[in-house]
Amino acid sequence: MTEIITDQTPPILHGPSDKEKKYDRQLRLWAASGQQALEDAHILLLNSGAGTVGVETLKNLVLPGIGKFTIADDATVGQADLGVNFFLDEDCLGKSRAESCVKLLQELNPDVEGDWFPRKKGESLQTLFENEQKFTLIMYSLPIEQQNLILVQKYAEKYQIPLISIHSAGFYSYFRIHLPGTFPIVDTHPDSTATTDLRLLTPWLELSKFAANLTANFESQSAHDHGHVPYLALLLYYLEQWKETHGSLPSTYKEKTAFRDFVAAGTRRENPEGGEENFDEAVAAVLKTISAPSLSSSVREVFDYKPSETEAASTFWVIADAIKKFHAKHNALPLPGSVPDMKAQSTIYVQLQNIYKAKSRQDVSEVLETVRAHPHGKNIEVAEVETFCKNAAFIKLIPGMDSTPPSLQSIANKEFENDQMAELTMMPLSLLPIYLSLNATSHAPSASSSDIITSLSKEIPDASENERIVNAAKEVARARGGELHNISALTGGMVAQEVIKIITKQYVPIDNTCVFDGITSRTQILRI
């Protein structure tokens, strides 16, 4: 019955869905795949202290459409909350801060689900963590009670969940990302100009043949033909000549500039334009495209990494292993296959595109064969192998925590050593003192500056003699655990940005701590 009715009146649906329209401006940054990852995510915020920075972070995740979020917070809303937290109003006074914030945050985006904890007064945080894994990523704001910190850390470790701590007080803030093990990224979104890979020094047969055909009897070609040979073919033609006279291809900077002049000398100038556009393009492309394929350090790191047994079974490492074998065999990564715009006849340009595409497809199928031969490679999607091959030169690994992390003292030594030279090198001074001072108030928001120095001295014995540490400690003490809305909003923007990178597995997240100084409007990234 219903079927008949719907058949008779087809739904009037024009164009993209409302959801696509709402998210249009961000889909252009992380595509449908990134959006899906966001919508599948469930984020927990363990809130405490002045309680604003975590909520501001959530705002920036609710707006782009995270699937679900939960706030765990046992505080009750007071007057000071209203002055700093945008997601609380007069009606919330005396109510659960978690529940109140969830309700106002949810208003931002009806597609997002929100939940809060505790549901009953006095319910222990332990009960939140008792069930199966339900969170994709956990954030907690500092200061936090020691016992709660231990609970959340245990849970994150058990289920291998990324954990982010955030601390905002007065004009200072920092956040720190704790990733479970190594974190590989395929889609790093490199600068589009960096991705051109033309293989001019190692052309394959089809390309060489095609180019040779275009440059046959080159000197006697008509003005029109001569001016329309695509610059790729020009460079291959002159490289061949260079090799004949020099015995090898140009490799040093000096040789390359000499080669560039050699190409330029081939331009016909007895025409109304006084030159040829395709030659101009060839000359401009010499330094960028005439270079032997070499692996970037980040790809080398991937190749050198020894994945654990569980890691090795994951899609990333199965494909990475196949690519590594491909590289060992061909001394080159799979060809990305795109060709930049250039002066050429349309038909020739299309043929050239097809030659690169065919080679790229051939490389993908070779990698795919290796993947399929892997015991865990049977069910890996072809599209994933294609994406990996396209991005192969830009894959990146963020290392997990070291088993024996460097001591704060050793990090401090290095940072303060640099500071001694700062005036000479014009480098900015280290923001480590801010991290140290905030960190010392992780469980004691109203510590005095001398409390902070005393606590710090356990790890940095000469802290009280360092003027910059003492000043930072004074500034932290002055805030007495209070947050400035503006600093927390700014920090919340930075944290949410990193959360999106981690959840979408796109772009490169920071490694691993970002310290912000609102007095000088500066950040510093430290691995701690």
Partner 1 sequence: MVPAMKRDQFNSQSFGSPLNTLVKEARILMVGAGGIGCELLKNLVLTGFGEIHIVDLDTIDLSNLNRQFLFRHEHIKKSKALVAKEAAHAFNPKVKIEAHHANIKDPQFNVRWFSGFAMVFNALDNLEARRHVNKMCLAANVPLIESGTTGFNGQVQVIKKGLTACYDCTPKETPKSFPVCTIRSTPSQPIHCIVWGKSYLLSEVFGASEDESTAMDHSEDSENAKEIEKLRQESQALKKIKESMGTPSFPQLLFDKVYHDDVVRLRSMEEMWKSRRPPEALSYASIIEQAAETEASKEKVLKDGQRVWNLHENVIVFKDSLERLSKRFEEMKSSNSNGSSTEPVITFDKDDEDTLDFVTASANLRSLIFGIESKSRFDIKQMAGNIIPAIATTNAIVAGLCVLESFKVLRGEYTATKEVFLSPFAPERLLSSDRYRAPNPDCPVCSVAQVQVLVDMSRATLGDLVEDFLRLELGYGEEIVVNHGDALLYDLEETDNLSKKLGELGIKADSFLTVIDEDDENPKGPRVNLVLNVQESPEALDKKPIKGVDLPAPAQTENDEPASPIPRRKKSSQPSNGFHEPVAAPMMRMELLSSTTDFLFILDI
Interface residues for partner 1 in 50-79 (CB under 8 A)?
50, 56, 59-60, 63-65, 78-79
**Which pair of structure tokens corresponds to residue 62?**
């609710």
Q: What is the DSSP letter of 218?
A: G
- Residue 140's SS3 state is strand
508 binds partner 1 (CB under 8 A): yes
Q: Nearer Cβ to partner 1, position 370 or 512?
A: 512
Please report whether residue 120 would count as binding partner 1 according to CB under 8 A: no
Is residue 17 part of the contact set for partner 1 (CB under 8 A)? yes
Pattern of binders to partner 1 over 153-172, x per CB under 8 A? Answer: -----------------xx-
Determine the Cα–Cα distance for residues 124 and 151; give it in Å rounded to an integer: 11
Return d(Cα 320, Cα 519) in angstroms, integer. 44
Quick note: the x/- pattern for partner 1 over 323-362, rule CB under 8 A, is ------------------x---xxx--x------------
Of 321 and 505, nearer to partner 1 (C-beta) is 505
Please identify which residue in 76, 106, 109, 221 interacts with partner 1, judged by CB under 8 A. 109
Residue type (1 letter), 367:
V
Cβ-Cβ contacts under 8 Å for 158 (sequence gap 6 or more)? none
**Binding status of residue 28 toward partner 1 by CB under 8 A:** yes
- The encoded tokens of residue 2 equal 């219903």
Least distance (Å) between residue 7 CB and partner 1: 13
- Contact at 8 Å (CB) between 210 and 351? yes
Q: Which residue from 23, 174, 210, 316 is in contact with partner 1, where contact means CB under 8 A?
A: 23
Residue 273 touches partner 1, criterion: CB under 8 A: no
Q: Can residue 16 be called a binding residue for partner 1 (CB under 8 A)?
A: yes
Beta bridge partners of 184: 397
The yes or no reply on residue 200 touching partner 1 (CB under 8 A) is: no
CA distances to 4, 117, 306, 314, 368 from 496, in Å: 48, 21, 31, 27, 36
∠ CA 241-246-252, nearest 5°, is 105
500 near partner 1, rule: CB under 8 A: yes
| 81 vs 99 by CB, closer to partner 1 | 81
Number of H helices and E strands in the chain, helices first, is 23, 10
Please list every residue from 405 through 434 that binds partner 1, using CB under 8 A: 426-429
List the beta bridge partners of residue 308: none
**Which one among 36, 40, 83, 465 touches partner 1, defined by CB under 8 A?**
83
Query: Does residue 177 interact with partner 1 by CB under 8 A?
Result: no
- We find the least distance from the C-beta atom of residue 11 to partner 1, in angstroms, to be 7
CB of 336 to partner 1, least distance (A): 17
Tell me whether residue 107 or residue 261 sits nearer to partner 1 (CB atom). 107
Tell me which of 84, 302, 355, 452 binds partner 1, using CB under 8 A: 84
Name which of 6 and 403 has its Cβ closer to partner 1. 6
322 vs 447 by CB, closer to partner 1: 447
Nearer to partner 1, 29 or 151 (CB): 29
Q: What is the DSSP letter of 112?
A: S
Residue 388 found at the interface with partner 1 (CB under 8 A): no
Q: Does residue 522 touch partner 1 according to CB under 8 A?
A: yes
| Cross-strand pairs, 290 | none
- Which of these ranges, 24-32, 254-262, 308-316, 449-457, lies near partner 1 under the rule CB under 8 A? 24-32
Question: Among the residues of 247-378, which ranges form H helices?
Answer: 253-265, 277-289, 297-304, 309-312, 315-330, 346-373
SS (H, E, C) 1-38: CHHHHHHHCCCCCCCCCHHHHHCHHHHHHHHHHHHHHH
Q: In angstroms, what is the minimal distance from the CB of 461 to partner 1?
A: 24
Rank residues 382 and 519 by Cβ distance to partner 1 and give the closer one.
Answer: 519
CA-closest candidate to residue 512, choices 396, 381, 353, 400? 400
Return the CA Rg of the chain.
29
Distances (CA, A) of 182 to 160, 179, 185, 397: 11, 7, 10, 7
278, 263 in Cβ contact below 8 A?
no
Site string for partner 1, 455-494 (x = CB under 8 A): ----------------x--xx--xxx-xxxxxx-xxxxxx
